[in-house]
């Protein structure tokens, strides 16, 4: 069974949006949040215990699949990890 995908986009400097999709269908979305951590908090707030993991895509780049409970418990830590992984991927592109 595929995991839901959390797409996080930078809309403008300091403004972010998110979208949850599954199988190509958008389940929920919002724009205008002040941080990646806020996107994580809001997007994962209503996830059931049955959703064990979520794939994270930031600015179109896949950054891995993470346990939903871990993301919900420490959104600020994961926001920092997302930014660091994105920077690493972009630095390694040719």
Condensed to tens digits (0 to 9), the pLDDT of residues 55-74 reads 999 999 999 999 999 999 99
Output DSSP code: residue 88.
H
Task: Quote the pLDDT of residue 50.
Answer: 84
Task: Quote the pLDDT of residue 62.
Answer: 96
Q: How many domains does the chain have?
A: 1
Q: Is the pLDDT of residue 94 over 80?
A: no
Task: Quote the pLDDT of residue 93.
Answer: 80
Chain-centroid distance of CA 1 in Å reads 19
Q: What does the longest C-alpha to C-alpha distance in the chain come to? A: 40
Structure confidence at residue 1 as a pLDDT band (50, 70, 90)? low
Domain region containing 55: 5-92
User: Could you give the CA distance from residue 65 to residue 55 in angstroms, rounded to a whole number?
Assistant: 4
Q: Is the pLDDT of residue 49 over 80?
A: no
């Amino acid at each position: 069974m595929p995991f839901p995908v959390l797409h996080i986009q930078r809309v403008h400097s300091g403004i972010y949006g998110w979208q949850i999709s599954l199988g190509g269908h958008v389940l929920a979305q919002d724009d205008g949040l002040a941080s990646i951590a806020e996107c994580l908090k809001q997007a994962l707030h209503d996830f059931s215990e049955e959703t064990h993991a979520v794939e994270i895509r930031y600015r179109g780049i896949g950054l891995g699949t993470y346990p939903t409970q871990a993301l919900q418990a420490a959104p600020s830590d994961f926001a920092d990890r997302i930014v660091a992984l994105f920077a690493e991927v972009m630095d390694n592109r040719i």
